[in-house]
Chains A and B, each alone.
Chain A
Amino acid sequence: MVTPEVEPYIRQKFAENAGLTEEQLFTADATLADVIASSPRMTNSIDLMEAFARTANGLRKDYGVRVRLPALPLDTPITTVLKTFLDEFEREQKEAAV
């Protein structure tokens, strides 16, 4: 079971790095391409990669869990990205506990 505050933590970090509010970022059908297009801070997928890296670094610092995200195509919905992040977090957390 993922620590309950992790989801809002990831949402907040993503939004912070994208320069968008959580409401703007996590709309039902927004894809990564949409995020790049609407973010005032992002030019291309390198910025996206960096936003994920900062989030992962935050999780490592604040929760001691190391999450690695796979390369995701730009048509991936942001909700799927969030879920992937949470799944990875859970997997890593379990592995660390063993």
Chain B
Amino acid sequence: MSIAETDRASSPVIRRSAASDGSPAIITDLYDALTKRGMSLVDVTWEQQRLHESRRWSVVEMLAAVDLDSLTPLDRNLVWNAGRAELTTKPGADRLERQSEAEVRRWQDKNPTVASIMEACGTWSRYWNEEEAHHETVFNRLADLSGMEPISDETFIQFRQVFPDDDMLRTLVLLAISEITAAVNYGQCQHVIEDPGLRRIFKQVAADEIQHRNYFVSFAKALVDSGEYPAKDAFAVAHLFLREDGELHGSARAQLEQRGSHVNWWDQLEVGDNDFRPEALEKKEQLICGALKKITGIEVHSREEVEDTWMDLVGS
């Protein structure tokens, strides 16, 4: 018997709606949701699905609204850099999926709640990957159409190199910070772009990145809440970015690591002839401190406090 027939049998007039009430949102207290509130992975996935659906947009439609001939050299440079940077998100999402899967198996017997958190994260990686596909293609297509230096297949493949695995909490915090950096950069770009169609694209992508950050923060918080992952590791990653000459300074750093294994998009930004750099370091610092507060419950306000707190948490 189908659901429709059941409905008809029990209630011929009133039709039950299968849609959920309330606007879709990220579950910010995932650990409590899984334990105290007894949410299942089906429930969690449903919330992911409807948030994803509610935020969908069309690359084709967005591109149609851009006036190609009005783009300035700076606009085109920003688009070109964004497209290259977004190329690195697919290996990130692929890796997250694989690593989550491995973590599920590792935790299944030891701590089933942690296994569920890992599964929720691995499941979400499919939405993340799909959303990043929009970013990558919208910028690369635009760079191509506006006559920017083409991205060779060699570069494309190089930017697809998979990041090495790391501890899951550290990975999630790094991804949260990467989304913060991207969101702030795109936000800064909006201020200097004149074409309304292009501005709208940057605005949309920045909004997506903020959602991604919120997801990474929620998974990271759930791991810390489980008691299996120490807050120290969240602070370590934040310090790695915020310290003097740290990762946050991206391609402006005096000395870049020659990795040969994978590409950190923040190392690859090229300024070109214009001197606009979407840095806004203070804003990023504040957003990273905010993420740490949400993940660990520990409040810090500056990179110095991040370092001090991390040193205290590390011990000797």
Contact of B170 with A46 in the complex, beta carbons under 8 Å: yes
- Size category of the binding interface on chain B: 20 to 34
Task: Count chain B CB atoms within 10 A of each CB in A49, A70, A74 and give the residue with the most.
Answer: A49
Is B255 an interface residue when CB atoms closer than 8 A count as contact? yes
Who on chain B is nearest to A74 by CB? B257
Main SS class of interface, A: helix
Residues on A with beta carbons closer than 8 Å to the beta carbon of B170: 46
Contact of A46 with B240 in the complex, beta carbons under 8 Å: yes
Is A57 an interface residue when CB atoms closer than 8 A count as contact? yes
Known contacts A45-B240, A58-B316, A74-B257; decide if A53 and B311 are in contact (CB<8 Å). yes
Who on chain A is nearest to B253 by CB? A71
Partner-contacting stretch, out of B76-84, B114-122, B214-222, B241-249: B241-249
Proximity bits, A55-97, B CB within 8 Å = 1, else 0: 1111011000000001101110000000000000000000000
Who on chain A is nearest to B314 by CB? A53
Residues on A with beta carbons closer than 8 Å to the beta carbon of B167: 43
Contact of B244 among A55, A71, A73 (CB under 8 A): A71
CB distance from B176 to the nearest CB of A (A): 15
Contact of A49 with B257 in the complex, beta carbons under 8 Å: no
Contact of B316 with A61 in the complex, beta carbons under 8 Å: yes
Residues of A within 8 A of B (CB): 43-46, 49-50, 53-58, 60-61, 70-71, 73-75
